[in-house]
Amino acid sequence: MNNITEFIARNRYSHMIILALLLAVVLPLSMDIFRLNLVGKYLTYAFVALGLVLCWGYGGILSLGQGVFFGLGGYCMAMFLKLEASSPENTQIQSTPGIPDFMDWNQITELPWFWEPFHSFGFTLVAVLVVPALFAFIIAVAMFKRRVGGVYFAIITQAIAAILTILIIGQQGYTGGVNGITDLRTLNGWDIRTDSAKYVLYYVNVVLLFACIFIAGFVVKSKLGRLLVAMREREDRVRFSGYDVSNFKIFVFCLAAMISAIGGAMFTLQVGFMSPSFVGIVPSIEMVIFCALGGRLSILGAVYGTLLVNFAKTSFSESFPELWLFAMGALFIGVVMAFPNGLAGIYQTYIEPRLISKKKGYEKEDPKKKDDNPALANPEEEKTHA
Amino acid sequence: MLETTKNIGKDFVLSVEGLTVSFDGFKAVNDLSFYVEENEIRVIIGPNGAGKTTVLDLICGRTAATEGSIKFKGKELTKMKEHQIVHTGVGRKFQNPSIYEDLTVFENLELSFPRGHSVFGALFFKRDKEVIEKISEIAAMIFLGDKLGMSADLLSHGQKQWLEIGMLLIQDPELLMLDEPVAGMSVSERKQTADLLHRITKDRSVLVIEHDMQFVAEIADRVTVLHQGKVLSEGSMERVQSDPKVIEVYLGH
């Protein structure tokens, strides 16, 4: 037993293996497909929380509008699926067959130009990544080149989330309005509503999540990751060490947006619709809470934080729907005040040392002094840099 | 001022001419001109509010000049961004030790290593032998050779000052600007710092702001006295010390 706990605490991949086992083996075996599909839905939010770890936890850029990128990714996917579901045969009863039903209800007789390319699956996959990244890039260049940061940036991102929601709701004929894009059926002819499709999509989701975890891990372990920490603390010093700080902020903000967008696209596939209620201020802030609870400096913590808050939300809101928001607010305030590094912080300070000291009780490690001589660069790390 | 006019035409590393900056009408630096020669150690002194730190801010691009020019090796700095100025070879140390306290001493120095300054350069930066050797060398120089793995927030105040000097040294700037490098140091730390400065100032020009007159006398080639944003006096330490204007506004206090 000692050996196992010691292994868990010491091996840098062990935490990832545990999460992989949990998501790929334990949960699928212990849940029916309805619950598993729910977990899949939660995991799509984990992408957003993961992006927030990078841009908020490491880079110090608090964005209260990550739902925007989640939504853009989700809408791109939804547009493709909707077009496939709106084939002329399926929509014979409409006054204009071949266009999505909500367009027909809004007296639109022709497919808008920006919907056209979403007939192609290849284009859609690219768009899921590029559209949110481009949008994030425009925001980031406009803000960071002017050195807008901190609270001001948070407020602006929140305003953007609000604006986009209003725009989507207002342009009902083009976007499906407040209902969003619903009644999605097949992906290249493959019915995504069946149980087997849900299993497949769940696993695709887990694999993509791990791909993003690896990318995030690579970024955090690179010099860029340390630069982000340095920028968070002393932006001026970084600038006077010869770095163009705004470029690094733009990069990490765009990366976070892309990761969130993958989550959004997977959400659409697994849940079967996309609506403005996942774009606005409330979901954006909820995602910050997932990240803060899990630990904003911990990539895996963000995943656990998202899962736990959502499990709690589902079980709690089933019994006390009106109390849930208060409970989540209280939880957020409590965690931030008592444990600024969230669950991951609690684990690292209280649990991990115990796992190690079981064997060597006398050796109390100071977390600050870990990694005592980086000059003798540990070869494992070198490999990841390569 | 007399001295500066006769110097025109000579090759200077840094020439500041007619530099003015006004904050809401208050001229913190007013029509300031001075020149720094190659390999010179220049100390700027002056009473509080004389504009000393503002001058460094202007040179390194932290503050934008209202008027005037700053030429470094013939390049105009007033139009450049901070990071571009750094790449032309200007290094700046702040008054309060400005280091990354969440990172280790090694990582602090590594971030200042002059390679991988673009986004993808930083992403794929390799901690190779050259980097490690250079960092060990600099760390030994700044008396932190055995503290590389330590988190920087555990260093003493003096050690933090050294670390920041080390972060500049690793950039190998041609012009090194130090804002009160011995402030808050103990007597023995001060001696070590003077010793360090003597060693690192070879082959580069240095601009230092300092209040400690004994320390100034020890390191300065020449001294510029600022008062209300203007040069009050300039020359060797003895000359400045015996200047009646200087005694009146500053040293006499």
- Rounded to whole angstroms, how far apart are CA atoms B60 and A305? 43
* Three-class secondary structure of residue A130 per DSSP: helix
- Please list every residue in chain A whose beta carbon sits closer than 8 Å to the beta carbon of residue B153: 368
Contacts of A367 (CB under 8 A, 6+ apart): A348, A349, A353
Lowest-confidence range among A295-304, B4-13, B134-143? B4-13
> Residues 233..252 of A with a Cβ closer than 8 Å to B: which?
233-234, 236-245, 247-248, 251
Tally the residues of chain A: 386
- Is A215 part of the contact surface with chain B (CB cutoff 8 Å)? no
Query: How confident is the model over B229-252, as a mean pLDDT?
Result: 84
pLDDT more than 90, % of chain A: 72
Lowest-confidence range among A310-319, B32-41, B118-127? A310-319
pLDDT confidence of A371, banded at 50, 70, 90? very low
Partners of B226 in the β-ladder: B231
pLDDT tens track for A306-325: 999 999 888 888 888 888 88
pLDDT more than 70, % of chain A: 89
> Using the beta-carbon criterion (under 8 Å), do A237 and B99 form an inter-chain contact?
yes
- Rounded to whole angstroms, how far apart are CA atoms A357 and A2? 10
Q: Give pLDDT, residue A360.
A: 47
Q: Give pLDDT, residue A183.
A: 92
Distance of CA B210 to the CA centre of its chain: 10
Query: How confident is the model over A178-200, as a mean pLDDT?
Result: 94
Query: Which strands, in side-by-side order, build the sheet including B205-209?
Result: B90-93, B175-179, B205-209, B41-45, B222-227, B230-235
Residue pair B78/B69 in contact by the 8 Å Cβ criterion: yes
Residue pair A267/A70 in contact by the 8 Å Cβ criterion: yes
Lowest-confidence range among A253-257, A264-268, A338-342? A338-342
Q: Give pLDDT, residue B203.
A: 82
Please list the alpha-helical segments (H only) found in A114-183.
Answer: 121-144, 150-170, 172-175
Contacts of B74 (CB under 8 A, 6+ apart): none
Residue A84's nearest CA partner among A212, A215, A190 is A190
pLDDT tens track for A3-56: 667 666 666 788 899 999 999 999 999 999 999 999 999 999 999 999 999 999
Query: How confident is the model over A123-128, as a mean pLDDT?
Result: 97
Provide the strand spans (E) within B47-138: 67-72, 75-76, 90-93
> Residues 41..80 of B with a Cβ closer than 8 Å to A: which?
60, 62
- Please list every residue in chain B whose beta carbon sits closer than 8 Å to the beta carbon of residue A145: none
Q: Report the predicted TM-score, pTM, of the whole model to 2 decimal places.
A: 0.89
> Using the beta-carbon criterion (under 8 Å), do A223 and B122 form an inter-chain contact?
yes
- Please list every residue in chain A whose beta carbon sits closer than 8 Å to the beta carbon of residue B62: 236, 240
Q: How far is CA A206 from CA A41, A140, A282, in A?
A: 11, 29, 25
Look up residue B57 and give its two tokens: 């801010």
Query: How confident is the model over A262-291, as a mean pLDDT?
Result: 94
Residue pair A98/A91 in contact by the 8 Å Cβ criterion: yes
pLDDT tens track for A200-215: 999 999 999 999 999 9
